[in-house]
Amino acid sequence: MALKASASICPSSSSYPQLGSHDSNCGLIRGLNLRYDLDKCCNWKCCCTSLGLVAQRALTPVEDEKPTVPLVDSSLAADASHYNDSKAFHKDVNLLPRPLTAIDVSSSPRDGSKVRVAYQGLPGAYSEDAALKAYPKCETVPCDEFEAAFKAVELWLVDKAVLPIENSVGGSIHRNYDLLLRHRLHIVGEVQLQVSHCLLGLPGVRKEELKAVVSHPQALAQCENMLNDLGVVKIGSPDTAAAAKTVALDCVRDTGAIASCRAANIYGLDVLVEGIQDDDVNITRFLILARDPIIPGTDRPYKTSIVFSLEEGPGVLFKALAVFSMRNINLSKIESRPLKQRPLRVVDDSNEGSAKYFDYLFYIDFEASMADPRSQYALGHLQEFARFLRVLGCYPMDTVL
């Protein structure tokens, strides 16, 4: 019975539903009609950008496409010379790519000359470092929010997204756990990045001159000892690269930033101190997301990520975890998130009142491939008493820092 049940949750096109329709035949028919209409009605080109991208993707592989329009806002380039004259800043950071937003992703140009990877933040962010570690020759596409990166993949504007999921010091990024459930993307890989925070300042500034430091709240918390010794004011920023850009543009000598060495090179700042984090071992784990799952193998260590919910009852969670233990499958991550559709359940067992309980979703990473019969038996067993079960992805483990 367990084996029969497991067949419905193996990685396949039926068990990995996509957001919207991905029928290959229909996609080609729509794509051919769209190309015909575009030739006849050029004025419709802007309105049909997102559909045209689907047709283009269906007909031509990413590697064979040629660059068309660079993802640079022309208004930024127009303002660059005026800004340089007014601020006397020697690097034109306004020519860097503008981050995609959740609103404008559907109308952004598509340059398919190489693999395009979305990340959250500005150029120089640690997420971009992770994307370049996974795909050294990729074209990175900045997004202003995590959800914008998800949508960019869904709308075929990029091929992959690399987003943080947990940090060895700060813990889990709950927002991305919630977005994994909301969107129908698949985890196809992971990247572990060693984080080394640097204190940055304007050229010629010494760290003793600083009165304020700007960075992401997590980075500020991870460098608390150094900041307390300097006695500076801590100022929050959306991400570390944005902090470096702010210091570079404002040109305030007594304000520094915490970011990476690469961010210092991009924004023309000096590295005042390297490796200022409190914990030497500071590792962030990133997930690689794609529209389609990969075919799992057994030739190397694999990891499988799932999410499920359980019926209420004594020992139900113990039984859920036991299906892996009895098959000698190691669990590397367990995370629980409130089930938002059913946040509270009221149980009335006595005449004295009622007790309120939260319903939870459980996210689990286990170290086994879906091609391994043990995994299929375990998930088939889990499905017998799980109210909901979804495989988020099966992917090779990153064992190199």
| Per annotation, catalytic residue among 89, 146, 150, 286 | 286
| Those residues with Cβ within 8 angstroms of residue 70's Cβ, 6 or more apart along the chain or in another chain | 109, 111
| 298 is a catalytic site residue | no
Q: What are phi and psi of 370, to 5 degrees?
A: -70, -15
Cβ(112)–Cβ(70) below 8 Å? no
The answer to whether 200 and 264 have CB atoms below 8 angstroms apart is yes
- Rounded CA-CA distance 215/376 in Å is 44
Phi-psi bin for 58: left (phi > 0), alpha (psi -120 to 50), beta? alpha
Residue at token pair 């491939």: 369
Residue 247, token pair as written in the block = 């210091």
Based on the residue annotation, tell me whether 246 is a catalytic residue of this protein.
no
Q: Which of 140, 255, 284, 304 is catalytic?
A: 284
Cβ density class 308-331: b for 16+ within 10 Å, e for less? bbbeeeeeeeebbeebbeebebee
Asked whether 288 and 162 are in contact (CB, 8 A), the reply is yes
Q: Enumerate the active-site residues.
A: 284, 286
